[in-house]
Structure formats: C-alpha cells, structure tokens
Structure 1
Amino acid sequence: MKRKGILIATLALLAIAGFITYQTRFAYSEPDEVLTQDEFVETFEETEALKEIDGLDRVGVNGNSPEEKILDVMHQMTHQKIVANQKWGAVPMTTRNIEQLESIVSSTDNIRTPEVKKQLLQIIAKWKQGDFSEADTDHNYIWDLQDGTLGKARGLLSKEEELQFIEEWFIEGKVEEDK
C-alpha cells in the first residue's frame, strides 16, 4: 500500500512538473502592452543609445547580398519582438535598419521568386509603418523560408520583455563588444 501511495505521489509530481514546463515553454498569452515604435525611437534612437550598432553595413548586408544573408538579418530583427524558446543573434529593429532593408530587398535580384520578394517587401512595409502586430507571423514566414526547425515564434514580447531584450542584446552586448 505504501508503494502505491509513493507511486501516485510521484506520478502527480511528474504531471505537475510537465504542466509547469508546458506553461513556461509552450503556452503563451497575448501581452497587455507592447513597446510601440514611437516609444522605441524616443528611448533608443533619439538618445542615440544604439548609434554604434545601428546600420546593416555592420552586419555585412547590402544590395549584392545573397538571399540567405538578407533572410538571416530579417529573422534576427524579429527577435526583438517575438517569444521563442531559442533565438540566435539579434539585429535592432531601428528605423535606419528597416529603411536600409527596404532598399536592399527592393533593388536585389537575389530573392528566389517574385512572390517571396513581394511578401518580404510587404513585411518591411508594415515594419516601416511601426506595425509589429504580426512580427511572430513574419518571423515564422522567414523561418520557414530558412527551413527552420528550432525557435519557432509563438507570440509577441510584452513591453517589459522587449525592453529587457534590448537591454541585454543591444545595450549590454554593445558594452561587452567595446571592451
């Protein structure tokens, strides 16, 4: 009888642990408040907090870049906005980066099809207007083009989460690079 009780208690603990793991890794609820592009510009661009890491030239993307590199930069730009279990790399979602990206994508012949190029330009056009309400969907479209297997977006970061991401990846990360 005692063993049966221990077994039941163990199974209950495993079920609770599984539920907690699911909630923290896979479940997602829409944030109450997200960081707007105006707030981002006011806090980071107008204060020049990201000046040293702004510009796509620092990541080696230009009109001659292959599609793979362009997609990689767009993918990394979405990391500032999305919830995912894994993220590799980040490029700030600045006005300058968005404008440079638009120029690069519109002028390149290195995108696989006209349909993909059109979709990428539509995504960039939303970003240029400060609309990141579908950044998770945008991420997953790009991620699918890259044959992604890990790190699928499952929602948008809250305002606080995005500010923390910016601080960790762009402010503190920049300081570490400068040393």
Structure 2
Amino acid sequence: MKKKGILIVALALLAVAGLVIYQNRFAYYKPEEVLTQDEFVENFEETEALEEIDGLERTGINGHSPEEKILDTMHQMTHQKIVATDKWGAIPMTTGNIGEIDSIIAGSKKIRSPEVKNQLLQIIAKWENGDFSEADKDHNYIWKLQKGNLGKARGLLSKEEELLFIEEWFIEGKALKEAKK
C-alpha cells in the first residue's frame, strides 16, 4: 500500500513538472499591460538613458550590409518586446534605430526577394507607428527567415518585464558586453 502512495505522489509531481515545463517553454503569453512607445520614449529616449547604446552604427550595419546582418539587427530589436526561452543579443527599440533600419531596408538591394523586403518594410512601418502588438509574430517571421530553431517567441513581455529587460540589457550594459564577445 505504501508503494502505491509513493507512486501516486511521484506521478503527481511529474504532472506538475510537465505543466511547468509546458508553460515555460510552449505556452503563449499575452500580458494585460505592455510598455507603450510613448512611455519608452519619455522614460528612456528623452532622458538620454540609452545614449551610450543607441544607434545602429555600433552594429556595423549600413546600406550595403547583407540580408543576414539586416535580419539579425531586426531580430535583436524584437528581443525587447517578446517572451522567448532563449535570446542572444539585444538592440534597443528606439525611434532612431527604427528609422535607421527602415532606411537601410528601403535602400537595400541585398534582400532575397521583393516579397521579403515588402514584409520587412511593413513590420518597420508598424514599429514606426508605435505598434508592437505583433512583435512576437514579427520576431518569428524574421527568425524563420534566419532558419531559427531555438528561441521562438511565445508572446509579448508585460510592461514590468520589458522594463526589467531594458534595465538589464541596456542600462546595466549586458547588450554592450554581448556585442564585445
């Protein structure tokens, strides 16, 4: 009888562990409140808190960059907004960076097809309007173009989570440390 009780407890623990793993790896996350672009600009851009890390020149990207570099830049920009188990690198989603990547894509002759270029420009147009409601879908579109296999977005960060991400990656300098590796 004692073995049966131990077995039941073990199965219950496995079920709970499975649920936790599912929620952390696969469940889609939709927060109640997200950080708006106006709040981001007011709290970070206008205060020049991101001055050291703002601008795409540190990434080496320009109008002659290959598609791979353009996609990597956009991919890293989405990291500020999305929930994913794995994230490598981050570039702040500043007004300036959005405008720069828009100009680079618009003038690029290195994008694989007109359809992909158009889709990237549509993504940027949403971002320029402060619409990040589909940043997870934008991330996954870019991620698929890059043939990603780890780090698929499964939702959007809440306002608090994004603020923590900004603090860790941009204010405390994790993004700069990663870029130097």
Range class of TM-score, shorter chain: over 0.9
Distance 1:174 1:134 in 2: 25
Q: What are the within-5 Å matches in structure 2 for residues 36-47 of structure 1?
A: 36-47=36-47
In the alignment of these two chains, the number of paired residues is 177
Distance 2:94 2:66 in 1: 22
Deviation at residue 30 of structure 1 after TM alignment: 1.4
* Secondary structure of the structure 1 residue equivalent to 2:130: coil
| 1:129 and 2:129 correspond | yes
Q: Which runs of 5+ in 2 are unaligned?
A: none
Give the TM-score taking structure 1 as reference length. 0.95
Deviation at residue 4 of structure 1 after TM alignment: 2.1
Q: Which runs of 5+ in 1 are unaligned?
A: none
Distance 2:140 2:105 in 1: 18
| Aligned-partner residue type, residue 8 of structure 2 | I
* Secondary structure of the structure 2 residue equivalent to 1:28: coil
Q: Deviations over 1:93-122 (max 9, x none)?
A: 000000000100000100000100000000
Q: Tell me which residue corresponds to 1:33.
A: 33
Return 2-11 or 151-160, whichever deviates more. Answer: 2-11
Q: Tell me which residue corresponds to 1:168.
A: 168
Q: What are the within-5 Å matches in structure 2 for residues 10-159 of structure 1?
A: 10-159=10-159
Distance 1:97 1:176 in 2: 16
Deviation at residue 21 of structure 1 after TM alignment: 2.2
Distance 1:28 1:172 in 2: 28
**Contact 2:83 2:154 (8 Å CA) reproduced:** yes
* Secondary structure of the structure 1 residue equivalent to 2:156: coil
Distance 1:174 1:140 in 2: 23
**Contact 1:53 1:174 (8 Å CA) reproduced:** no
Deviation at residue 18 of structure 1 after TM alignment: 1.3
* Secondary structure of the structure 2 residue equivalent to 1:52: coil
Q: Deviations over 1:53-98 (max 9, x none)?
A: 1111111100010000000000000000000011000000000000
- Assess, with a 3 A threshold, how the Cα gap between structure 1 residues 11 and 106 changes in structure 2: closer, same or farther: same
**Contact 2:84 2:151 (8 Å CA) reproduced:** yes
Alignment RMSD (CA, Å): 1.4
Q: Deviations over 1:29-65 (max 9, x none)?
A: 4111100000000000000000111111111100010
Deviation at residue 7 of structure 1 after TM alignment: 1.5
**Contact 2:29 2:154 (8 Å CA) reproduced:** no
Deviation at residue 24 of structure 1 after TM alignment: 3.0
Distance 1:113 1:93 in 2: 25
